[in-house]
Amino acid sequence: MVIRVLALSLMLTLASACGSQANSGQIAERSRVLVLTETTGYRHDSIPAGVRAIQRLGRTHRFSVDTTGTSSGFTTNGLARYDAVIFLSATGTPVARRAEQRAFERYIKGGGGYLGIHAASDTRGKWPWYEALVGARFTRHAPGTARATVKVEDRTSAATKTLPEAWTRTDEWYEFDRNPRGRVHVLATVDESTYSGGTMGADHPIAWCHRYDGGRSVYTAMGHTRESFAERRFLAHLLGAIEMAAGRARFDCAP
């Protein structure tokens, strides 16, 4: 009888320990991201749709989403709460104060994650470190929005694995001050022969990732329109990019 009681006690203790470990694992798996929507340049009317889309993705895929229209909370302690910071078409110099810039730089150097969406590359050349984090700086776009074909180069990353090799969609097609290939891992390019006004040539990267200054960086130039954030394939692309930036997905992003 004593032996049975001791055995039962041991089993309960082990079950309790295993349950605690499982609960701890579930808590650890829940990431938290911060969405910055501050603009000091052109403000896209798609930003609210983008915020709602990211919030829905968070509810569905078990990550927490905080949003802010100002970088005033960019402090070392404030940013430490997040697995990734998402610049959602944050234009101009959204992190204008040097103290906030330094805090964000420390965050990335400490292993933090960054995702830039569409106009996050429209930075006016005022923060060189950030432009290197993005990978390139926006200079112009083809007139209006246009239907074009995106060529998915890497179909193994979380941001692209569900996409077709040739992905036809409507967006505003950005051009940059330089081709980032060689410094970043290109995920997708846009085929300039399928729309009018492109000037970067046959190799026109449109989404990429790389490790930079200790942290993870993912950028997609797509997401200009409100309709993008209701588009099934674009949302899959966006979810994978968030997971990569937050360290929830494999990050094979060597140039």
Token digits of residue 143: 């007139």
- Do 141 and 164 contact (CB within 8 A), yes or no? no
pLDDT tens across the length of the chain (255 residues): 444 433 434 343 334 343 333 332 333 468 999 999 999 999 999 999 999 999 999 999 999 999 999 999 999 999 999 999 999 999 998 898 999 999 999 999 999 999 999 999 998 878 999 999 999 999 999 999 999 999 999 999 999 999 999 999 999 999 999 999 999 999 999 999 999 999 999 999 999 999 999 999 999 999 999 999 999 999 999 999 999 999 999 999 999
**Distance from C-alpha of 136 to C-alpha of 155, rounded to nearest angstrom:** 22
Confirm or reject CATH 3.40.50.880 for domain 32-138+206-245, answering yes or no: yes
Taking the domains of the chain in order of start, what are their residue ranges?
32-138+206-245
CA 130/CA 110 separation, integer angstroms: 15
Report residue 79 as tokens. 């940013």
pTM (predicted TM-score): 0.88
